[in-house]
Amino acid sequence: MTKSFVCVLLRQAKQKGEKVKMHSCQIMLIEADSAEDALDYAKSTITYSETPYPAWSDWHGGLGEGLAGRWSGLFEGWEETRDVLQYIENPTLAEDIIKEFIGYRTGEMKYLLELIEKSGIDLEKAVDEYDPNDNPFGDKGMSLYYLKRLSELLSNVWNSNTGVYDLKEHTASLEYFRNRIIENPRKQYLVPIDFHH
Protein backbone atom coordinates (compact mmCIF):
# COMPACT_ATOMS: atom_id res chain seq x y z
CA MET A 1 0.00 0.00 0.00
CA THR A 2 1.47 3.36 -0.99
CA LYS A 3 2.00 6.12 1.55
CA SER A 4 -0.31 8.42 -0.46
CA PHE A 5 -3.11 5.85 -0.22
CA VAL A 6 -2.53 5.55 3.53
CA CYS A 7 -2.69 9.36 3.84
CA VAL A 8 -6.04 9.42 2.02
CA LEU A 9 -7.34 6.64 4.28
CA LEU A 10 -6.19 8.47 7.42
CA ARG A 11 -7.77 11.72 6.24
CA GLN A 12 -11.07 9.95 5.50
CA ALA A 13 -11.03 8.20 8.88
CA LYS A 14 -10.43 11.52 10.70
CA GLN A 15 -13.28 13.15 8.76
CA LYS A 16 -15.60 10.35 9.87
CA GLY A 17 -14.51 10.76 13.48
CA GLU A 18 -12.78 7.38 13.62
CA LYS A 19 -9.79 6.85 15.90
CA VAL A 20 -6.36 7.33 14.40
CA LYS A 21 -3.18 6.59 16.35
CA MET A 22 0.30 7.56 15.23
CA HIS A 23 2.27 5.79 17.99
CA SER A 24 1.93 2.28 19.28
CA CYS A 25 3.89 0.33 21.81
CA GLN A 26 4.75 -3.18 20.77
CA ILE A 27 6.13 -5.78 23.17
CA MET A 28 8.92 -7.69 21.45
CA LEU A 29 9.47 -11.27 22.63
CA ILE A 30 13.19 -11.94 22.29
CA GLU A 31 15.51 -14.82 23.10
CA ALA A 32 18.91 -13.61 24.33
CA ASP A 33 21.68 -14.33 26.83
CA SER A 34 21.17 -11.05 28.72
CA ALA A 35 19.01 -7.93 28.86
CA GLU A 36 21.66 -5.98 26.96
CA ASP A 37 21.77 -8.68 24.28
CA ALA A 38 17.97 -8.52 24.01
CA LEU A 39 18.13 -4.75 23.40
CA ASP A 40 20.99 -5.18 20.92
CA TYR A 41 19.01 -7.85 19.05
CA ALA A 42 15.98 -5.55 18.82
CA LYS A 43 18.14 -2.65 17.61
CA SER A 44 19.87 -4.75 14.96
CA THR A 45 16.68 -6.44 13.74
CA ILE A 46 14.40 -3.42 13.56
CA THR A 47 15.98 -1.22 10.92
CA TYR A 48 15.28 1.83 8.80
CA SER A 49 17.45 1.27 5.78
CA GLU A 50 16.44 0.87 2.13
CA THR A 51 14.26 -2.05 3.23
CA PRO A 52 12.87 -1.00 6.62
CA TYR A 53 11.70 -3.61 9.09
CA PRO A 54 8.88 -3.38 9.95
CA ALA A 55 7.63 -1.75 6.74
CA TRP A 56 4.59 -0.22 8.48
CA SER A 57 6.68 2.03 10.76
CA ASP A 58 8.81 4.99 9.74
CA TRP A 59 10.71 5.27 13.04
CA HIS A 60 10.77 4.00 16.60
CA GLY A 61 11.82 4.99 20.13
CA GLY A 62 15.34 6.24 20.85
CA LEU A 63 18.03 3.87 19.65
CA GLY A 64 20.66 5.68 21.70
CA GLU A 65 19.07 4.68 24.99
CA GLY A 66 16.19 2.28 25.30
CA LEU A 67 13.56 1.70 22.69
CA ALA A 68 10.43 2.26 24.75
CA GLY A 69 10.19 6.01 24.12
CA ARG A 70 6.97 7.32 25.69
CA TRP A 71 6.43 3.86 27.25
CA SER A 72 9.71 3.99 29.15
CA GLY A 73 9.17 2.73 32.67
CA LEU A 74 6.61 0.11 31.66
CA PHE A 75 8.26 -2.26 34.15
CA GLU A 76 8.53 0.47 36.82
CA GLY A 77 8.62 -0.86 40.33
CA TRP A 78 10.31 -4.00 39.10
CA GLU A 79 12.88 -2.97 36.54
CA GLU A 80 13.54 0.77 36.73
CA THR A 81 16.97 1.00 35.14
CA ARG A 82 16.18 -0.49 31.72
CA ASP A 83 13.21 -1.12 29.49
CA VAL A 84 13.62 -4.86 29.23
CA LEU A 85 12.24 -7.63 31.42
CA GLN A 86 13.58 -11.16 31.72
CA TYR A 87 10.49 -13.35 31.80
CA ILE A 88 11.60 -15.41 34.82
CA GLU A 89 12.41 -12.27 36.86
CA ASN A 90 8.70 -11.66 37.21
CA PRO A 91 6.48 -14.09 35.24
CA THR A 92 3.31 -12.55 36.71
CA LEU A 93 4.21 -9.06 35.47
CA ALA A 94 5.33 -10.48 32.10
CA GLU A 95 2.05 -12.35 31.66
CA ASP A 96 0.00 -9.32 32.76
CA ILE A 97 1.75 -7.15 30.17
CA ILE A 98 1.37 -9.77 27.44
CA LYS A 99 -2.32 -10.15 28.30
CA GLU A 100 -2.85 -6.37 28.30
CA PHE A 101 -1.20 -5.88 24.90
CA ILE A 102 -2.98 -8.89 23.38
CA GLY A 103 -6.15 -7.23 24.70
CA TYR A 104 -5.34 -4.16 22.59
CA ARG A 105 -5.04 -6.46 19.56
CA THR A 106 -8.37 -8.17 20.15
CA GLY A 107 -10.00 -4.81 20.90
CA GLU A 108 -8.78 -3.53 17.53
CA MET A 109 -10.15 -6.67 15.84
CA LYS A 110 -13.58 -6.03 17.35
CA TYR A 111 -13.42 -2.37 16.32
CA LEU A 112 -12.47 -3.28 12.74
CA LEU A 113 -15.24 -5.88 12.57
CA GLU A 114 -17.73 -3.24 13.72
CA LEU A 115 -16.52 -0.84 10.99
CA ILE A 116 -16.77 -3.57 8.35
CA GLU A 117 -20.29 -4.50 9.46
CA LYS A 118 -21.36 -0.82 9.48
CA SER A 119 -20.01 -0.35 5.95
CA GLY A 120 -22.36 -3.04 4.63
CA ILE A 121 -19.77 -4.10 2.07
CA ASP A 122 -20.92 -6.97 -0.11
CA LEU A 123 -17.76 -9.02 -0.76
CA GLU A 124 -19.35 -11.11 -3.49
CA LYS A 125 -20.39 -7.92 -5.29
CA ALA A 126 -16.90 -6.44 -4.74
CA VAL A 127 -15.35 -9.52 -6.38
CA ASP A 128 -17.87 -9.55 -9.25
CA GLU A 129 -17.33 -5.82 -9.92
CA TYR A 130 -13.56 -5.88 -9.43
CA ASP A 131 -11.76 -3.69 -11.96
CA PRO A 132 -7.95 -3.63 -11.89
CA ASN A 133 -8.11 -0.19 -13.55
CA ASP A 134 -10.09 1.24 -10.61
CA ASN A 135 -8.48 2.83 -7.57
CA PRO A 136 -11.03 2.15 -4.80
CA PHE A 137 -10.90 5.33 -2.73
CA GLY A 138 -13.94 6.43 -0.77
CA ASP A 139 -16.20 4.23 1.34
CA LYS A 140 -15.45 1.06 -0.63
CA GLY A 141 -11.72 1.62 -0.22
CA MET A 142 -12.07 2.17 3.51
CA SER A 143 -14.15 -1.00 3.91
CA LEU A 144 -11.53 -3.02 2.03
CA TYR A 145 -8.78 -1.43 4.13
CA TYR A 146 -10.58 -2.43 7.36
CA LEU A 147 -10.99 -5.94 6.01
CA LYS A 148 -7.28 -6.10 5.18
CA ARG A 149 -6.30 -4.93 8.66
CA LEU A 150 -8.62 -7.44 10.33
CA SER A 151 -7.32 -10.32 8.22
CA GLU A 152 -3.72 -9.34 9.04
CA LEU A 153 -4.42 -9.45 12.77
CA LEU A 154 -6.29 -12.76 12.51
CA SER A 155 -3.38 -14.20 10.49
CA ASN A 156 -0.75 -13.06 13.04
CA VAL A 157 0.82 -10.64 10.56
CA TRP A 158 2.79 -7.87 12.25
CA ASN A 159 1.18 -4.46 11.96
CA SER A 160 0.73 -1.38 14.12
CA ASN A 161 -2.03 -3.02 16.18
CA THR A 162 -0.33 -6.36 16.90
CA GLY A 163 0.74 -5.36 20.40
CA VAL A 164 2.97 -8.40 21.04
CA TYR A 165 5.40 -9.77 18.47
CA ASP A 166 7.87 -12.66 18.58
CA LEU A 167 10.95 -11.06 17.05
CA LYS A 168 12.84 -14.36 17.02
CA GLU A 169 10.26 -16.23 14.93
CA HIS A 170 8.81 -13.15 13.19
CA THR A 171 5.19 -13.85 14.06
CA ALA A 172 2.47 -12.40 16.25
CA SER A 173 1.65 -15.92 17.43
CA LEU A 174 2.73 -16.71 20.98
CA GLU A 175 3.17 -20.43 20.27
CA TYR A 176 6.96 -20.38 19.80
CA PHE A 177 7.49 -18.06 22.78
CA ARG A 178 5.43 -20.40 25.00
CA ASN A 179 7.62 -23.32 23.93
CA ARG A 180 10.80 -21.32 24.62
CA ILE A 181 9.57 -20.47 28.14
CA ILE A 182 9.42 -24.21 28.83
CA GLU A 183 12.68 -25.11 27.07
CA ASN A 184 14.89 -22.15 28.00
CA PRO A 185 13.11 -19.73 30.35
CA ARG A 186 16.23 -17.77 31.38
CA LYS A 187 16.73 -16.52 27.82
CA GLN A 188 13.25 -15.03 27.28
CA TYR A 189 12.86 -11.25 27.39
CA LEU A 190 10.15 -8.66 26.85
CA VAL A 191 11.26 -5.40 25.21
CA PRO A 192 8.72 -2.57 24.67
CA ILE A 193 9.29 -0.43 21.58
CA ASP A 194 7.58 2.85 20.72
CA PHE A 195 6.72 2.72 17.01
CA HIS A 196 5.54 5.63 14.90
CA HIS A 197 3.35 4.78 11.90
In order, the DSSP letters of 36-48 are HHHHHHHHHHSB-
Residue 187 pLDDT: 97
In a domain, 10, yes or no: no
In a domain, 11, yes or no: no
76 occurs within a structural domain:
yes
Q: What is the pLDDT of residues 60-84, one digit of tens each?
A: 665 455 676 666 777 766 555 568 8
Q: How many Cα atoms occupy the beta-carbon half-sphere of 12 within 13 Å?
A: 16
H or E segment and range at residue 60: strand 59-60
Does 12 reside within a domain?
no
Strand partners, 60: 195
41 or 7, which is more confident: 41
Q: Convert the pLDDT of each residue in 114-141 to its tens digit.
A: 999 998 888 898 888 888 887 766 667 7
Domain membership of residue 8 (yes or no) is no
Contact in structure between 54 and 46 (CB atoms under 8 Å): yes
Query: Which pLDDT score is estimated for 123?
Result: 86
The range of the structural domain enclosing residue 136 comes to: 21-196
In this structure, the dihedral spanned by the alpha carbons of residues 193, 160, 167 and 53, taken in order and rounded to 10 degrees, is -90
13 part of a folded domain: no
Q: Is residue 50 part of a domain?
A: yes
CB 145 within 8 A of CB 2: no
Provide the number of structural domains found in the chain.
1
Within-domain flag for 187: yes
pLDDT digits (tens, 9 = 90+) for 9-36: 444 444 555 554 666 778 999 999 999 8
